[in-house]
A and B are shown apart, each in its own frame.
Chain A
Amino acid sequence: MTGTTATVAERLAVLRRQQAFAAADEAALAGLIAVRPPERMPRPDPVWDDAAVLVHEVVGERYRRLVLASATIATTALAGQFLMITVPPALGERILLPRPMAIHRRHPEQGTVEVIYGVAGRGTTALVDVGVGERLLVTGPLGRGFEFPDAAGPDAAGPRPARTALMIGRGVGVCAIMGSVEDAARLGIDATVVLSGRSRANLIGSADCAELGATVIPVTDDDGSSALAALGERLRGLFAGAPPDVILVCGAGVLARLAAELGAEWGVPVQVSLEAHMACGLGYCHGCAAPVATDPAVEGPLVCVDGPVFDAVLPAG
């Protein structure tokens, strides 16, 4: 779109659309986010490790997959937790801050975890140069992940464990929910996973979902199926009369809002994983303020320790 033949007016229009989209995506979270109640499971202690890079390969058109060896992290990480990855100095580039990355897959038997990243800015561009056999400094597992809350039982029967889940991921946001797809497979929870991306060649997670026995709904921008209205109608139709017990979402503010709307209609809880610029990942630098309006005299929640997973609840009214 921004090729050299485009006029200034055309390029400006594209940029403005991108900016408007980014602003709308941020605005969609307004009033939506709440810190989750204390988790039922104790959180594992994070460690740092010199993780050997076992695989580093291109995935689709825009992403790369890393398989990292760290037995401690692989055996303790909970669904939806993340790592801080320190990017080693590349040719001419020093990356000071570690980059937060979702733990896409856990393989405790092999002592490995998988991460998928998109090449976006300086940090991820420098990460591309890390070779198989080299070591990456990683800290984790970090943050509060997704949980399957008990569902309200019929009448007075009381709560019961979740049986079905709808998960929605877009772009690299899919990585944050894949741990929950793993958990669902182990717990016998029926998982329906919406994978959203620009095009079929850019969808993350199809093979993982197939392996884990989850039902996939691929939606893309190029055929319009990822458009919010279309996706909303499709999900309302699919779950008519039998809503999922929980909705987990990551990757776009507008998708979190759609999920919160569906959750309100169906009366089911919604959890969303958020991103923020981070330095420490441990809660002490106070760099990762969550988009939650609070009293100016009180610090709001931090994405790295109070999240990255929050409840998404439609504001009243």
Chain B
Amino acid sequence: MTIAPPMPPTDARRAFFDARRAFEAVNLSVRIGSLTLANPVMPASGCFGPALGRLIPVAELGAVVTKTVFGTPRGGNAAHRLTELRAGMVNSVGIPSRGAAGYLAAQHPLYLALGVPVIVSVGGHRPGEYAPVVRGLRGAGDAYELNVSCPNLDRHGTDIGSDPDAIGTVVQAVRRETDKPLIVKLPVLVSSIADCAQAAEAAGADAVCVANSIPALPLTADTRSPVLGNVIGGLSGPNIRPVVLRLVWLAARAVDIPVIACGGIETADDALDYFSVGARAVQVGTASFGRPFAMVEIIRALQERCEGAAAADIAELIELWRA
């Protein structure tokens, strides 16, 4: 029942694609280990899919990050899997995954076609489960982000990423599988983010990502019963920004490897907050749902800010503010 339009009508999306312009005097590139990204803006794991390639100019992104891939297929949690409160959005998707083989067959080709570096997020329920997933990916991906914000079934469900020893075990094991850059994505609820980041660095990680969503319990307004099928979920969105900003600041002082900030970023100003406390790159999650083009807007705005201030890069821009 498709009604063929006489002329392809124009829409705001098309105008947005066309509005791209070059910034010759600005260099936003950033290095994550051996990988150089054209700019420091990428999606947060689970908040991006190749389907967005039709809606936004994905080629302008620094990289894309996949949803976390586990070794064996997982179904995901019961409905409802997400909701929105005044405090932010809460999700308990439960990371459904087709496993490494399923990812390679069904998803990876779609990511590759996007034409930007692909960072594959890898998960496990035990420290020993990460390396086999990376092996199972058989070299696919330009870098791996190790999502250690998963309950450790070997340690009564405490997050792997809240335990510096477990982080070290994971990174060392994965390092033996691959020379590609490794990013360790840390949880928010840790007793010392500095210890966790240093454990990752000491074990051979090339960057840390700070942080994942914050464990939360959303209730319905009327009967005060749990909204989510899984009862608890992860809080994300702009309200977590000050919490994560503190963690990024602490982590950036503790390690020499780049810190990738992730938490509540919606605008270039939010990203600059994180850059100003030492982040070298940023990930955008929740903001993309309401504004699919948010990441590209941030990249373009960062370029404009630098150009406007005659700064060659973000570090110079920040220096100029401070001066």
Report B-chain residues with C-beta under 8 Å of the C-beta of A286. Answer: 46, 67, 76, 81, 93, 95-96
Tell me the count of chain B residues lying within 8 A, CB to CB, of chain A.
56
Partner pick for B75 among A277, A290, A296, CB 8 A cutoff: A296
Q: Are A283 and B74 in contact (CB under 8 A)?
A: no
Q: Are A282 and B51 in contact (CB under 8 A)?
A: yes
Interface-facing stretch out of A73-81, A160-168, A198-206, A260-268:
A73-81
Query: Closest chain B residue to A48 by CB distance?
Result: B13
Given the complex of chains A and B, what is the CA–CA distance between A111 and B5 in angstroms? 10
Q: How many A-B residue pairs have CB under 8 A?
A: 157
Given the complex of chains A and B, what is the CA–CA distance between A280 and B67 in angstroms? 14
Report B-chain residues with C-beta under 8 Å of the C-beta of A277. Answer: 79-83
Report B-chain residues with C-beta under 8 Å of the C-beta of A279. Answer: 82, 89, 91, 286, 289
Given the complex of chains A and B, what is the CA–CA distance between A208 and B73 in angstroms? 46
Main secondary structure of the interface of B (DSSP, over half): loop
A86 in the interface (beta carbon within 8 A) = yes
Query: Closest chain B residue to A300 by CB distance?
Result: B75
Q: Are B84 and A96 in contact (CB under 8 A)?
A: yes
Partner pick for B286 among A50, A96, A289, A298, CB 8 A cutoff: A96
B86 in the interface (beta carbon within 8 A) = yes
Quote the shortest CB–CB distance from B14 to chain A (angstroms). 8
Q: Are B89 and A96 in contact (CB under 8 A)?
A: yes
Main secondary structure of the interface of A (DSSP, over half): loop
Report A-chain residues with C-beta under 8 Å of the C-beta of B11. Answer: 47-49, 70-73
Q: Are A108 and B3 in contact (CB under 8 A)?
A: yes
A232 in the interface (beta carbon within 8 A) = no
Quote the shortest CB–CB distance from A146 to chain B (angstroms). 10
B10 in the interface (beta carbon within 8 A) = yes
Tell me the count of chain A residues lying within 8 A, CB to CB, of chain B.
57
* Chain A residues engaging chain B, CB cutoff 8 angstroms: 15, 19, 41-42, 44-50, 70-73, 75-76, 78-79, 86, 94-98, 108, 111, 121-123, 137, 139, 183, 186-187, 276-280, 282-291, 294-300
22 contacts between A and B (CB under 8 A): A42-B2, A44-B2, A46-B55, A47-B11, A47-B13, A47-B54, A72-B8, A76-B2, A76-B5, A96-B286, A97-B82, A139-B292, A277-B81, A279-B91, A279-B289, A283-B49, A287-B82, A287-B91, A289-B77, A289-B79, A290-B79, A300-B76
